[in-house]
């Protein structure tokens, strides 16, 4: 099952069920994604039972599948990315035997085709291609072994970042506020069964194709997460309940062979350049730049659709 949210002029939009070919939809029997998530065990079968998709889908009319969330917890669980980023930021943080995770702004997830306003071109504007999940309500203290049961949907995320602010904020120990403006989401949120065998061990085994201004940038594979999304849910829920509709991210998708497969963010490419040549050659984004992200199954299908966002002056 694939779900999306239509822009109907309200802040939460209108939940729709998308046809297998991605070109048509049916209005859902539940008004919003948040409402569906709050009653997921009841709502999901109703949504999944829909087989008639009478309306034509206009991708430009879509909001993020969940346009705002009560909580956004972003991990960083691709080891090849973490090690490089520490070098780029000039930090040597301690690595606990637990997933890295911060809480980010969640009152806005930009639409798949949004123009994204940025405060200042000089701040090192960067994209970050990620996978994410959206939870049902998770009780405090849920174990990793049980956490997978609370994963309602899988999403594809663009975690916009301002790199010039990231290092200084990280060094305070308080995490990121200014370095992390709102993220974007790809058009469709999918249930795990939609990925079939490519959702395994609570990890998405898909390539994430990333293009920057039309040029190929990366196609890293989603599977080599050091911690699965079940671990991330359990980590987030250790001392708090997770409200229904909590979004949890993987951090930038990255593979050990990034010199071959490329990267899912500019900072990682710059990190490789620093390691290889002593200095970065690639600059960050400027106003008017666009990024395109599309996770693909081996047969070429793109379960989350295409995210294509453009940076504009605020």
Q: Which of 163, 207, 235, 292 binds a second copy (CB under 8 A)?
A: 235
- Under rule CB under 8 A, residue 122 binds a second copy: no
User: Position of tokens 């206009």?
Assistant: 58
| Shortest Å, Cβ 113 to a second copy | 20
Q: Which is nearer to a second copy, 58 or 120 (CB)?
A: 120
| Shortest Å, Cβ 156 to a second copy | 21
Find out whether 68 and 182 touch, Cβ atoms under 8 Å.
no
Strand, helix or coil at 229? helix
Q: Which of 40, 102, 198, 284 binds a second copy (CB under 8 A)?
A: 102
* Binding-residue total with a second copy (CB under 8 A): 49
Find out whether 285 and 295 touch, Cβ atoms under 8 Å.
no
Question: Which of 155, 262, 252, 174 has its CA nearest to residue 217?
Answer: 262
Q: Which of 84, 123, 195, 220 binds a second copy (CB under 8 A)?
A: 123
- Under rule CB under 8 A, residue 249 binds a second copy: no
**DSSP characters for 91-134?**
------SS-EEEEE--S--B-TT-EEEES-GGG-EE--EEEEEE
Q: Which of 51, 56, 172, 277 binds a second copy (CB under 8 A)?
A: 172
Number of helices (H), then strands (E), belonging to the chain: the values are: 8, 21
Largest Cα separation within the chain, whole Å, is 57
Of 16-24, 52-60, 145-153, 168-176, the segment contacting a second copy by CB under 8 A is 168-176
Q: Write out the residues near a second copy by the rule CB under 8 A.
A: 68, 70-71, 73, 76, 91, 93-96, 100-108, 117-120, 123, 140-141, 162, 165, 168, 170-179, 181-182, 235-236, 238-241, 243, 314
């Amino acid at each position: 099952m694939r779900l999306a949210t239509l822009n109907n002029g309200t802040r939460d939009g209108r939940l729709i069920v998308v046809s297998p070919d991605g070109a048509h939809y049916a209005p859902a029997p539940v008004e919003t994604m948040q409402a569906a998530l709050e009653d997921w065990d009841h709502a999901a079968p109703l949504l999944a039972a829909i087989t008639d998709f009478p309306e034509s889908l206009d991708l430009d009319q879509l909001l993020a599948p969940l346009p705002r969330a009560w909580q956004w917890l972003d991990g960083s669980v691709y080891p090849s990315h973490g090690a490089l980023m520490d070098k780029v930021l000039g930090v040597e943080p301690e690595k606990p035997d637990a997933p890295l995770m911060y809480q980010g702004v969640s009152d806005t997830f930009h639409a798949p085709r949004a123009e994204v306003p940025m405060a200042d071109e000089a701040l090192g504007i960067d994209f970050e291609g990620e996978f994410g999940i959206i939870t049902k309500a998770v009780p405090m203290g849920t174990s990793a072994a049980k956490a997978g049961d609370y994963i309602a949907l899988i999403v594809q995320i663009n975690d916009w970042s301002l790199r010039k602010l990231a290092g200084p904020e990280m060094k305070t120990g308080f995490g990121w506020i200014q370095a992390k403006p709102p993220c974007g989401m790809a058009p469709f949120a999918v249930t795990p069964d939609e990925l079939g065998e490519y959702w395994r061990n609570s990890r998405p085994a898909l390539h994430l194709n990333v293009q920057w201004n039309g040029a190929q940038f990366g196609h890293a594979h989603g599977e080599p997460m050091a911690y699965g999304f079940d671990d991330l849910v359990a980590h987030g829920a250790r001392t708090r309940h997770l409200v229904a509709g909590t979004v949890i991210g993987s951090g930038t998708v990255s593979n050990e062979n990034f010199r071959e497969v490329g990267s899912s963010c500019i900072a990682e490419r710059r990190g490789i350049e620093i390691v290889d040549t002593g200095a970065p050659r690639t600059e960050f984004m400027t106003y008017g730049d666009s990024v395109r992200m599309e996770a693909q199954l081996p047969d070429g299908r793109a379960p989350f659709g295409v995210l294509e966002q453009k940076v504009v002056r605020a």
